[in-house]
Amino acid sequence: MTGLVVDILDLPPTIGATKQIHLDLAAPEDLGTEVIGAEPGSPLVVDAALVSMEDGVLVRGSARTRIHGECVRCLTGIDEDREITFDELYLLPDKAAEARADEEDEEADDLFVTGQTTIDLEPALRDALILGLPMRPLCRPDCAGLCSQCGERLDDLPADHHHDTIDPRWAALSELLPGSDEELD
């Protein structure tokens, strides 16, 4: 069991009954995408209200964590603090079985009360975080990226940075020029 699995034994089954939770733990490994996500092991603070419903438990919460990723243009590291909010209904096992039988609720397999005693907040938190993250993170909107010839960050190079290249179709003729032993920059 992970630290994001919450016990609901003390949540009264009366509709509208509420339980407040506060979790202060380390972010799990796979909370994000391959490009950007919660930095594994960084502090993750979750505050949520669990509300008894007829079909299950409604979880309304927020989480704060440190996000780490790389700019897709220049590969510079991106680090920022992020707050995520999420609202999810965790179905009771019998209601989840009904939803699966109806095949109308595609999420019935993901979010349900486990054995009527616990709920796992990690899938809901992961979904909310991924939806709030950019698909193509940038260090800044006007990032110039990398030089296609030398691979250096264009923002770190002078404005007149360039490489003299010879068209490969004419490369053999360049050997006939005087001083052809010198390489072109």
- For position 86, what pLDDT does the model report? 94
- Which range among 32-41, 119-128, 164-173 shows the weakest confidence by mean pLDDT? 164-173
Q: What percent of the chain has pLDDT over 90?
A: 41
Delimit the domains of the chain by residue range: 5-132, 147-185
The overall pTM is greater than 0.75: no
Rounded Cα distance, 123 and 182, in Å: 60
Q: What are phi and psi of 106, to 5 degrees?
A: -70, -25
For the segment 48-77, the average pLDDT, to the nearest whole number, is: 92
Please give the radius of gyration of the chain, using alpha carbons only, rounded to the nearest integer.
Answer: 26
Indicate the residue type of 17: A
Query: Which DSSP string do the residues of 59-107 spell out, in sequence order?
Result: EEEEEEEEEEEE-TTT--EEEEEEEEEEEEEEEPHHHHHHHHHHT--GG
Length of the chain: 185
Say if CB 123 and CB 109 are below 8 A apart. Answer: no
Say if CB 38 and CB 65 are below 8 A apart. Answer: yes
Nearest partner of 145 among 75, 95, 87, judged by Cα = 75
Q: What is the pLDDT of residues 152-178, one digit of tens each?
A: 888 888 888 888 777 778 777 877 877
Tell me the sheet residues that pair with 148. Answer: none
pLDDT band of residue 118 (cuts 50, 70, 90) is confident
Exposed, middle or buried, 61 (CB in 10 Å: 0-12/13-18/19+)?
buried
Helix, strand or coil for residue 126?
helix
For the segment 100-115, the average pLDDT, to the nearest whole number, is: 58
Q: Which two tokens stand for residue 165?
A: 């290249």
Is residue 60 predicted with pLDDT exceeding 90?
yes
Rounded Cα distance, 65 and 70, in Å: 17
Q: Between these two residues, 132 and 97, which has the higher pLDDT value?
A: 132
Q: Between these two residues, 145 and 177, which has the higher pLDDT value?
A: 145
Helix, strand or coil for residue 124?
helix
- For position 179, what pLDDT does the model report? 67
